[in-house]
Amino acid sequence: MSGPRTVICLLRNDLRLFDNELFHWAQRNADHIVPLYCFDPRHYMGTYHYNLPKTGPFRLRFLLESIKDLRNTLLNKGSNLIVRRGKPEEVVASLIKQLGSVSTVAFHEEVTSEELDVEKRVKDVCAQMKVNVHTCWGSTLYHRDDLPFHHISRLPDVYTQFRKAVESQCRVRPVFPPPEHLKPLPQGLEEGTILTAEDLEQKEPVADPRSAFPCSGGESQALARLKHYFWDTDAVAVYKETRNGLIGVDYSTKFSPWLALGCISPRYIYHQIKQYESERTANQSTYWVIFELLWRDYFRFVAVKYGTKLFQVNGLQDKSVSWRKDMKLFNAWKEGKTGVPFVDANMRELATTGFMSNRGRQNVASFLTKDLGLDWRMGAEWFEYLLVDHDVCSNYGNWLYSAGIGNDPRENRKFNMIKQGLDYDNNGEYVRLWVPELQRIMGADVHTPWTLSSAMLSHAHVSLGETYPTPIVIAPEWSRHFNKKMTDLSRVPLLALNMGFRKKLGLYLNPRNAVAADWMALAEAMGFTYLEIKNYESAGNPTVKVLEDWQARSTDATVGKLLSILSEVERNDVLEDLQPMIDEDVRRYCERSNRDPEPPLQVNQVDSCFHRTLDRVGLTLYDDPEGTPELFHAFICYCQSDFGFVQEMIRELEQTDFKLKLCVFDRDVLPGSCVWTITSELIEKRCKRMVVVISDEYLDSEACDFQTKFALSLSPGARNKRLIPVKYKSMSKPFPSILRFLTLCDYTRPCTQAWFWKRLAKALSLP
């Protein structure tokens, strides 16, 4: 008769009882279960390339807390956690000899080289000692066997393709419930002492009240965090809006440290989200948590596909880059002394707390690889040392992505440190929190202290090169943000972006794209309905049409909101490429809005009998208070429903090389005078031409009858001003008889659209 079956459950990055297949399997296949954790000395050696400490103080503290928590959980289930110091293959061999009745060693499979090497050594020991090996897959949301790619070599090299495939073709497996009681340990087995930081030659880190992650390790803490974030505060319902935060605990889920050690499973988080969606609300935020879990899955499966390429200097693409190995630059980066405040703040937060936001990680990685040109592995190994949530696949996968040699379909992705600082820390609160030597510099100026005057720096008690470093690098593209730090783009109307930008944006968004979001995603984010979006498919340039209609219907249509939407639909590549055009359009708009009174436009054919009396000045926005009137190339007649086309007219005729000056009543005329008096004054005395935007709505308006008849009734000397009718959309009403014999500028005819604006501009420019 055979003896009792004993199963050793070798635990590594699966320090939990809930949804742990090892325990579920062992319960059914063993008489005794030995939960085992080994303090592998190889985890506390130097990193492979730059000999940085592999496990730092923050992750070690979190690990020790997680081990203690698991021991308490197992004790409550009638078991215990056996702890040993040594290499797993040696500890397992020793236990097999000691117990004599071990039938199986079970463990979760890992995916990267060092972990796989341990697994091979354990399997070899078991084979020699005639002990079975059982493995499980439990680190991802979707099980490896459920992937729709048949073989891992067919895993897509673009995340979006992977995401769409698994979302449409796979299901998330149910979780394994925790056992009520675990099978007992064999008699006489010593539990072993949980090591301390001192035992592992580490210092206990000091807690910092500024930390965005003041949490403890362990499964019980992970479950409490999920309960807090989902059920107690409903913070998950706004995750998508807050996830790019920098200060505080609840701007993001903070699940990553527990996921990294397996204190909680991605499947459990997923099913809790589905329950939350069923009981409370389902929105973009709840989905976005799953979206991020899928990124984690993707990096793990990429590691399976590419193996050791994950750690090689040329990356997944086998792309040769001349990386630098300048230790002086590297030390400035890792110590937060680059002289670039947004970078320094993030690096100091990491060094002080072991945590950094996802936004910060992307930026400091881009800075190290793209601005400093340093070997990306220096940054990856520094993160491996310090991050409390270090996950080898996510960390190295993200660094490859930032370095441009990983899974990124877009070439030359580079973050602009100044723009990023202004976008995500506009008032500089985060920088001042972590770079206290700059705390007297107010507002957004804190992002670029080297651009401030000596007097401003002195007032803030800052001496560059002494109390705070001068920048170790200044990228050329930063300069366009130095002088617009205080520009609130949420207050700049979409009107500021001219047709050149809109058409260029269409080149990016009009093509239907399986990799990146297109114009449909933009329209959906702007609030257009499904039917409206379908109608835009027939437009020659749907992106331009969407922008026009959004501008016409929404008070929220600003440059800032557009940039926010593009970022939301993950088209930061568009933002980076088109940023110079955006900056120039905004600059020109702000100049026009804030300019001082300027010399009047020289218009030769304005009626010379005009007298500059006080009752005839101060009618328009830029009239000279000394009595010089503001003059225009044309007065634009329109009704409110046609204002969208008038805005396009402004963009095409004023904001391009034509540089014409139009009189648009709603924009240029000051309030407080009789409409008809001002209109007649402007048409007769201030404008060379008169453009009438003809539509059914305009023909029904009072303005039509007055304006057109007034223009045609001018004295013969003024009649050469010419009234120019413009038709921009189809009409059901007959053309007015008084305009029927005038030459028409017709925008509705496709054959003439190509030269429509040039033809109109020429007519308005004639003497």
Write the pLDDT tens digit of every residue in 367-399.
999 999 999 999 999 999 999 999 999 999 999
| Helix (H), strand (E), coil (C) string for 717-738 | CCHHHCEEEEECCCCCCCCCHH
| Helix (H), strand (E), coil (C) string for 540-560 | CCHHHHHHHHHHHHCCCCEHH
Q: Checking phi first, is residue 187 left (phi over 0); if not, alpha (psi -120 to 50) or beta?
A: beta
Homologous superfamily (CATH) for 327-481: DNA Cyclobutane Dipyrimidine Photolyase, subunit A, domain 3 (1.10.579.10)
How many residues are given for the chain?
Answer: 767
Question: What is the pLDDT, as a whole number, of residue 402?
Answer: 94
Establish how many alpha carbons lie within 13 A of residue 310's alpha carbon, considering only the half-sphere containing its beta carbon.
24
- What are the DSSP E strand ranges found in 378-495? none
Question: What is the pLDDT, as a whole number, of residue 715?
Answer: 41
Annotated binding site for FAD: 239, 252-256, 389-391
**CB–CB of 711/705 below 8 Å?**
no
Question: What is the pLDDT, as a whole number, of residue 563?
Answer: 85
Annotated binding site: 239, 252-256, 389-391
**CB–CB of 72/118 below 8 Å?**
no
Instruction: Return all residues near 766 (Cβ < 8 A) that are at least 6 apart.
Output: none
Question: What is the pLDDT, as a whole number, of residue 515?
Answer: 59
Please list the residue range(s) of the chain that carry CATH number 3.40.50.620: 6-169
d(CA 704, CA 164): 54
pLDDT lower than 70: segments of the chain = 1-2, 409-411, 483-488, 513-516, 593-618, 621-628, 673, 705, 708-721, 737-738, 740-741
Question: What is the pLDDT, as a whole number, of residue 628?
Answer: 65
Question: What is the pLDDT, as a whole number, of residue 2?
Answer: 64
The backbone torsions φ and ψ at residue 544, rounded to the nearest 5 degrees and listed phi first, read -60, -40
- Measure CA 208 to chain center: 27
Q: Give, in degrees to the nearest 5, the angle at Cα 342 between 338 and 346.
A: 85
Fold of 215-307: 1.25.40
d(CA 681, CA 623): 14
Please list the residue range(s) of the chain that carry CATH number 1.10.579.10: 327-481
- Strand 6-11 and strand 687-694: the pairing is unpaired
- Measure CA 266 to chain center: 22
Tokens of 560: 């800032």
Question: What is the pLDDT, as a whole number, of residue 487?
Answer: 52
Question: What is the pLDDT, as a whole number, of residue 516?
Answer: 62
Question: What is the pLDDT, as a whole number, of residue 728?
Answer: 86
Question: What is the pLDDT, as a whole number, of residue 318?
Answer: 92
d(CA 293, CA 287): 10
Fold of 6-169: Rossmann fold (3.40.50)
- Strand 132-136 and strand 745-746: the pairing is unpaired
Among the four given CATH numbers 3.30.420.10, 1.10.390.10, 1.10.533.10, 2.120.10.30, the one describing domain 489-594: 1.10.533.10
Q: What share of the chain is helix, strand, coil (3-state, %, to 5)?
A: 50, 10, 40
Instruction: Return all residues near 607 (Cβ < 8 A) that are at least 6 apart.
Output: 684, 685, 717, 718
pTM over 0.85: no
Please list the residue range(s) of the chain that carry CATH number 1.25.40.80: 215-307
Judged by DSSP in three states, 441 sits in coil
**In whole angstroms, how large is the CA radius of gyration of the chain?**
34
> Of 638, 640, 597, 644, nearest to 620 (Cα)?
597
Question: What is the pLDDT, as a whole number, of residue 742?
Answer: 77
Class of domain 632-765: alpha beta
